[in-house]
Structure 1
Amino acid sequence: MNTITLKPEITELYTLTEFITNEIGEKNFQINLIIEETFVNIVNYSKTEFITVNVEFENNTVTLEFVDNGFEFNPLLKENPTAPNTIDEAEVGGLGIFLTKEIADELDYHYENGENHLKITKNV
């Protein structure tokens, strides 16, 4: 397992994406979407001082663990958004957690020692 620790700044997203791409050896749209949605939510809402991401790639399975010391937040408990009846009723935003839950093969969350730990597993 390899690890990277980043500042909670949107500009660090490129560094994280490149790091994970190098770990798995190729670009993967679904993995990139998971990375972006998770990282941006942590940066925008957690008030964390750091974001550490642990990456493991074994037997065509990517495991990502996002760790931060921001506000305690379990994204697995967030209710899925209600689908709009028409395109005019659709709102921008609010789908990141939903998309991550739909794309990932496994999700696990726990809060320990003042840190959020979100583990996401995806077969590629």
Structure 2
Amino acid sequence: MTGGCHCGAVTVTLSRRPEYVNLCDCSLCAKSGGAWGYFCSAEVSVEGETANYRRADYEKPAVEMHFCRTCGTTTHWTLTEYHDGDRVGVNMRIFEPSELSGIEARTLDGRNWFGETAAAYRRPVGCLGSDVFL
């Protein structure tokens, strides 16, 4: 599946649909408009030039956000050197809603989660649809 930013300068191609999408409400995700599907780096191909941002309110930020240099659409994040693993978060809002139909949506309580414990969810898990996802 392939999605992209608003102006079309950046495209992201995935080798599969995500198992679920996290709708995180932490300050960074809420303000970037992210709805995250998680993948190994080998499952994600990004074409086009992106800019990046690391949150300044954490000494060792976990992720680096990537966005289109032209239109500003958040496309994905990558882990920083402060965290081990092979994980990429892709903003599933850059894909057509019809491609995401039926994928489980989880509302992550990111405002009250700091990574030391298992993530908590605010609302019951549901399926993505235009009324929930967009």
TM-score range, shorter chain: under 0.3
TM-score by length of 1: 0.27
Structure with a larger share of its residues in strand: 2
TM-score by length of structure 2 reads: 0.26
